Amino acid sequence: DTAVSQTPKYLVTQMGNDKSIKCEQNLGHDTMYWYKQDSKKFLKIMFSYNNKELIINETVPNRFSPKSPDKAHLNLHINSLELGDSAVYFCASSHLPPADLSTYTFGSGTRLTVV
Amino acid sequence: RKEVEQDPGPFNVPEGATVAFNCTYSNSASQSFFWYRQDCRKEPKLLMSVYSSGNEDGRFTAQLNRASQYISLLIRDSKLSDSATYLCVDYISGTYKYIFGTGTRLKVLA
C-alpha cells in the first residue's frame, strides 16, 4: 500500500545511455514533482505537473524530460547520461499548493549512478 | 544569497540535551514553512508545520520570526533516534514551489 512508489530503487548505468525512472502515487493527489538530491544533500525541484499539465520547469538540461500520462503517474526520462547526473532522484506528490501543504509526500528515491 | 539557509552542522549533542536550529529565508513573499526530517539514505518526511503563533508537538517546538525572516526548531530531551538531518522548507506564494534548505545534521550521542 505504498503511497508514492518509484522504480527502480537503484540504477547504475554508463555515460551516454538513456534511462527512465517511473513514479506512481495512490494518494489521490493532483500534483507530482521530481527532485534531485546531489552529493551535498541539496534537494532541488526539477519539474512539477498538475493534472498532466507542467507547472514547474526549473533550469535543467533538456536531456531531462518528464512525462505525465495521468495525474497518478510522473515519469522522468534522461537522455545521454553524464557523470554529473549521479544523484538521488525523489518523486513527490501533493494537493495543488497552496491547498493542504502538509500532504506533501515523497517516494523513497532512486539512486542513480553514472559510470 | 540562497533562498533558504541552514547551518549544515553536524550538531553533536548528548542524550537528554536540548538543541535548537535556525533557518533563514530571503523571500518576503514566503507564505508557509515546514520542518522535514531526513534519515540517511531515506526520503524526507514531514516533521511539523510552522505557524505564525509557533507550535509544539511533544518534545519539538517550532517558531517563526517574520521580522527577522527565520524559523527555528527546538528539540528537548534529545533521543538517539532524533539523529537525522533536519530540512527547513519554505513555500513561496504563487509559485507552487517548496524550497528546501540544505539541512542541519543532528547526532545525538549516548
pLDDT in tens, B30-57: 778 999 999 998 999 999 999 888 899 9
Chain-centre distance for alpha carbon B50: 9
Distance between CA atoms of residues A114 and A87, nearest Å: 9
pLDDT confidence of residue A78: 96
pLDDT of B10 reads 93
Whether a cis peptide bond, with omega within 30° of 0, leads into A98 is yes
Measured between beta carbons, the chain A residues lying within 8 angstroms of B85 are: 41
Angle at A79 between CA A81 and CA A114, to 5 degrees: 20
Which residues of chain B lie closer than 8 angstroms to A43, CB-CB?
Answer: 44, 87, 100, 102-103
pLDDT tens digits, A31-62? 999 999 988 888 899 999 998 899 888 878 89
Q: Cα separation of A99 and A30, whole Å?
A: 11
| Contacts for A20 with CB less than 8 Å, ≥ 6 apart | A75, A76, A77, A78
Cα(A95)–Cα(B83) distance, rounded to whole angstroms? 30
C-alpha cell, B59: 518534545
Question: What single-letter amino acid sits at B11?
Answer: F
